[in-house]
Chain A
Amino acid sequence: EAQVTQNPRYLITVTGKKLTVTCSQNMNHEYMSWYRQDPGLGLRQIYYSMNVEVTDKGDVPEGYKVSRKEKRNFPLILESPSPNQTSLYFCASSLSITRLSYEQYFGPGTRLTVT
């Protein structure tokens, strides 16, 4: 089954304790992206990657890091989480070659709480 998976689905942590949220897709997609969703704000892009070893900042990158060492994986790293990073996080992926391949597939979301 074609899908985007995220782990963990739920996480409660404390301020300053480094954490990683994993994202993996099995569709051989070049493009991957991270979004955060906050009440009343919709979804906002954190980072994106056009392909392996190619990453760039989105609209709200502060406090986050990413890496893209393999095509299928795009982990989101919070080096020193703070309470304002409490949010619902989505990973998404899509093909990026042809005009027809513009649908983004979303993972199930990761609910992160930082206390």
Chain B
Amino acid sequence: AQTVTQSQPEMSVQEAETVTLSCTYDTSESDYYLFWYKQPPSRQMILVIRQEAYKQQNATENRFSVNFQKAAKSFSLKISDSQLGDAAMYFCAYRSGGSNYKLTFGKGTLLTVNP
């Protein structure tokens, strides 16, 4: 079974600074997808960024980018120019390329943004 580990229960960053959230995963599959979801106090799950395992290029969405290291099974999220609205719980998630599109989530990292 796949597992996803987020080793940082909490992180903090100063507004306008850069922060990196860590995620590692364990799988024997070669075809899979990785995601970062943001959960603000409203509890809504918001997709931040996604990465296909077969793509070597790291995904980027505006201020959000990932460092995908397939051999190391690492998938970190970098947030540049942090804003107060980035404060949230961030979840790393894995999805197999197989038939059940189940997302396996890490336990989350609570990000605080200090003004």
Contacts of A31 in B (CB 8 A): 101
Query: B47 at the A/B interface (Cβ < 8 Å)?
Result: yes
B78 interface residue per 8 A CB criterion: no
| A48-67 vs B, Cβ < 8 Å mask (1 yes, 0 no) | 10100000101100000000
A31 closest partner in B (C-beta): B101
Residue of B nearest to A38 (CB): B107
**Do A33 and B107 touch across chains, with their CB atoms under 8 A apart?**
no
Quick one: which of B66-81 are within 8 Å of A by CB? Answer: none
**B102 CB within 8 Å of chain A:** yes
- Asked, given contacts A33-B101, A48-B101, A96-B101, whether A102 binds B107 with beta carbons under 8 Å apart, the answer is no
Q: Does B28 contact A (CB under 8 A)?
A: no
Residues of A within 8 Å of B44, CB to CB, are 106, 108-109
Q: Please tell me if A79 contacts chain B, counting CB pairs below 8 Å.
A: no
Smallest CB-CB separation from B33: which chain A residue?
A102
A88 within 8 A of B: yes
Q: Which residues of A contact B (CB under 8 A)?
A: 31, 33, 35, 40-45, 48, 50, 56, 58-59, 88, 90, 92, 94, 96, 99, 102-104, 106, 108-109, 111
Query: Which B residues form the contact surface with A (CB < 8 A)?
Result: 4, 33, 42-45, 47, 50, 52, 91, 93, 95, 99-103, 105-108
18 contacts between A and B (CB under 8 A): A33-B102, A35-B103, A42-B105, A42-B106, A43-B45, A43-B91, A43-B103, A44-B105, A48-B101, A50-B100, A56-B100, A88-B43, A102-B33, A102-B101, A106-B44, A108-B42, A108-B43, A109-B45
